[in-house]
Amino acid sequence: MSSMINLLYEFRRDLYREKLYDGYGKATEVDIKHWEQVVASMNRRIAYVKQLDDEFILKGDYNEVDWLAMANISFRNTRTARQLRLKWLNEQCPEWSKDEWSYAEIEHLKKYAEDSTRIKAVNWEIVADELDTDRTPLQCFARVQEMKQYMLDRCSWTKEEDLKLRTMKIIAQNLGAVRWGRGIVIIFTYF
């Protein structure tokens, strides 16, 4: 990681070096002095970053990151600052576990997947803290959703559900488009 950061600093330093070489004779003395200071500053940063441990670099304060500049310059406005920040904080940040889910974690999350009424009032930050395995709230939520989908896919259809499906198919066939709003809830309730 430190080598990647060094590459960025070296790239920036080299841009200013080019300005220096191209600017002699054309640029003002103030500009040249400024560019020399930037190159010297980049050299100091490169030397400093080279001696840092990767873990230290990755566990930095992400409030200091200029996400907007990164979105505009590095990603050329293909991603917003918010998208970059959320992607980093919820998925790529090294503070979060990317290991396979353990049996204990799955067992803890299973109660949320099995009780669909409970899932609406869940504070996923608390759930992530309860796990105490460096999972993000988003990871916990996504895993519970996967578990719920797996449970739904596994369960067999009841006769009542078969009847509802046939009834809805007939209604849709006779009426054309069905408005899947309040009316459908009433139909499902009475069949």
Question: Looking at the structure, do residues 149 and 186 belong to the same domain, yes or no?
Answer: no
Side-chain-side CA neighbours of 183 within 13 Å: the count stands at: 8
With 0-12 / 13-18 / 19 or more C-beta atoms within 10 angstroms meaning exposed / middle / buried, residue 80 is: middle
Q: Is residue 181 assigned to a domain?
A: yes
Cα–Cα dist 96/89, whole Å? 9
Shared-domain flag, residues 180 and 138: no
Is residue 139 in a domain?
Answer: yes
Same domain, 37 and 9: yes
Give the pLDDT of residue 103.
Answer: 93
Instruction: Indicate whether 76 belongs to any domain.
Output: no
Residue 54: inside a domain, yes or no? yes
Nearest to 143 by CA among 109, 97, 94: 109
Q: What is the pLDDT of residues 159-185, one digit of tens each?
A: 888 888 888 888 777 776 656 655 555
Burial 112-139, CB ≥16 within 10 A → b, else e: bbeeeeeeeeeebeebbeebebebbbeb
Which token pair is 45?
A: 């940063």
In a domain? residue 52: yes
Number of domains in the chain: 3
pLDDT digits (tens, 9 = 90+) for 21-67: 776 667 778 887 887 888 888 888 778 777 777 666 666 667 778 88
- Residue 22's domain comprises 2-58
**Mean of the per-residue pLDDT values of the chain:** 79
* One domain for residues 8 and 33: yes
| Pair (109, 141) in one structural domain | yes
pTM for this predicted structure: 0.51
pLDDT of residue 106: 92
Shared domain check, 52 and 8: yes
Both 127 and 169 in one domain: the answer is no
